[in-house]
Chain A
């Protein structure tokens, strides 16, 4: 099966500062790929690259290619890319409070997507909007469509943003931290809605998050980024059972769990380096418990491991009985 979204060794720079270095990812229809890492690891930039939005922030692809359904996004015209975004690619932002226009009624904001991308009439677009709101389990859809954004709760607003992303009949949804701004009980609802959309409609979902718990809950595969490079990528089962990269293991270890001994939660020492001062060799080595002389000098390349890839000189060996 060919991938719907494919990043082939994509490198990105803003101005003269290189930020992403050779990111390779692939996402098929009906699958959820989690993109994780701390702030500053390049998650949102990867999403911007996937949508061809880099020029907005003064960035450009300096190497590799982004392919959507086989086509190179970099070779498209601006008009083609605009048609793609909001159409075949839907986007869900982190903060539903700022994603909606405060002086436009909810219904109009959702209507405009299907009018623009599917060419629907006002009346047909509104019918579609109400159908979407109902499907997202928004009670009293007609009243909500007439409401203003400030009248809705955070969880309700995030559902509206998801409805807007769905309105153009997308095949791919890119969701950037879609639950971070929400209450815990509402987070669980939104994650379930996104998971159901992928299962029932065969969408592909690129889910950006810093929460390994969310990844474990819904994703099929996970890609771990660190300081603009891919650290590890593969199916969630093997990666959570036996993370090969020390950074992946450390990220999982940052989540407090039932039965964890007091003092077991230590975090990752230090912080993600600034793009202006990436260390030589493996960029994780200043924070890594396994760092050796080799790591200070030479950047590890992603190598295959257990249906995935890992970029580490000292990757954990796979558990018994696995390749």
Chain B
């Protein structure tokens, strides 16, 4: 029997609205629509998609940094969407987040030591002796940086501080929201190696959000592909062939570092439509090479088929 998942997400939705004041008409959009997922203990689940697909909203919803419009999130048997603020704060010790931009996610007036001591302060826990040095060592930073300010660090060092802060209270679950998107490829690879080492050493469970399918396939075990707020496909393993035309296009859009494998066809035309004006049927219909009348009229739902769910009327 498979162990129960650490996280279960059921029918999660988030609606945003803009305008509605004196100057602009009210507009509404679903950033995340009716999303259900489970994340196993020790798993690294990847979520991949382009801008506006709702992946960062999902990251924030899972930790209840923002309130869902509908749906439930169950963390290790406890429904965190129903917790009181005080109970949620206690629960948050067990979860953490690493943000995309290490330049804006660290307080510029804090020293590295102050950044790393903050989680203890917020959770009203005593700061154990040697904790800062141990955290710095765990992310490969020298002690000498403990009194530095963020502006004195390189981008890669800053992101290591961000990771150390996330690990300060020994969480079980870490949401990684594009943790390498603002870094050089050489530094990205360092950070990915560090995250993999930490997962093995500390038995962490990851939700890894990225726009880079190649990176997600390297780092994660299962991959959720999102397009405009909805899951279009869940790849059961990294070697699985895509069934949704959008996933296939994403795979073909990455460039392999091999001049012998050049492509002459562009996989996709057009761009992502505005989430405020979604077409009635499949959100991908306007760019899809396999589109039919049915796709324009009716929205395909995610249906599991041999453990490889896909939301498409004409899967590959």
Contacts and interface: CB of A to CB of B under 8 A. Distances in A.
B190 A184 contact: no
Interface in B263-288: 263, 266-269, 271-272
B186 interface: yes
Contact of A267 (B187, B219, B261): B187
A189 B214 contact: no
A187 B253 CA distance: 8
Interface in A182-225: 183-189, 191-192, 210-218
13 contacts: A183-B50, A184-B253, A184-B254, A189-B268, A192-B266, A217-B255, A240-B257, A254-B185, A254-B189, A265-B218, A266-B190, A267-B187, A269-B190
Given A254-B186, A265-B218, 6 more contacts: A189-B269, A240-B259, A255-B257, A257-B256, A267-B190, A268-B186
Contacts of B157: 271
A250 B214 contact: no
A268 B156 CA distance: 11
Contact of A188 (B190, B196, B268, B272): B268
A74 to B, nearest CB: 31
A254 B256 CA distance: 12
A280 interface: no
B105 interface: no
A161 to B, nearest CB: 16
A211 B190 contact: no
Nearest to B50: A183
A237 B193 CA distance: 29
A265 B193 contact: yes
A38 to B, nearest CB: 5
A33 to B, nearest CB: 14
Interface of B: 50-51, 154-157, 184-193, 196, 211-215, 217-219, 249-250, 252-263, 266-269, 271-272
A191 to B, nearest CB: 8
Contacts of B260: 237, 240
A154 to B, nearest CB: 8
A39 B258 CA distance: 22
A255 B214 contact: yes
Contact of B215 (A155, A256, A269): A256
Contact of A252 (B154, B212, B257, B271): B257
Contact of A265 (B189, B212, B267): B189
B271 A153 contact: yes
A271 B307 CA distance: 43
B189 A266 contact: yes
A251 B253 contact: no
B291 to A, nearest CB: 16
B218 A256 contact: yes
A38 B186 contact: yes
A211 to B, nearest CB: 7
Contacts of B217: 256, 258
Main secondary structure of the interface of A (DSSP, over half): helix
A216 B262 CA distance: 8
A81 to B, nearest CB: 32
B185 A271 contact: no
A89 interface: no
B190 A262 contact: no
A156 B190 contact: no
B254 A213 contact: yes
A132 interface: no
Which 8 pairs show the lowest CB-CB distances between chains A and B?
A267-B189, A213-B255, A267-B190, A256-B218, A268-B186, A183-B50, A254-B185, A217-B255
A153 B215 CA distance: 25
Residue from the set A183, A216, A240, A260 with the largest chain B CB neighbour count within 10 Å: A183
Contact of A263 (B51, B196, B268): B196
Nearest to B269: A189
Interface in A218-264: 218, 236-237, 240, 250-258, 260, 262-263
A249 to B, nearest CB: 11
Nearest to A218: B262
Nearest to A189: B266
Contacts of A191: 255
Contacts of B256: 213, 216, 255, 257-258
Nearest to B249: A185
A212 B186 CA distance: 11
A216 B259 contact: yes
Contact of A185 (B50, B215, B255): B50
Given A156-B271, A240-B259, A266 B193 contact: yes
Contacts of A256: 189, 192, 212, 214-215, 217-219
Contacts of A257: 214, 218, 256-257
A34 to B, nearest CB: 11
Nearest to B213: A184
A218 B264 CA distance: 10
A136 to B, nearest CB: 13
Given A256-B214, A265-B218, A211 B267 contact: no
Nearest to A184: B253
Contacts of A255: 185, 214, 256-257
A190 to B, nearest CB: 10
A175 to B, nearest CB: 15
Contacts of A216: 255-259, 261-262
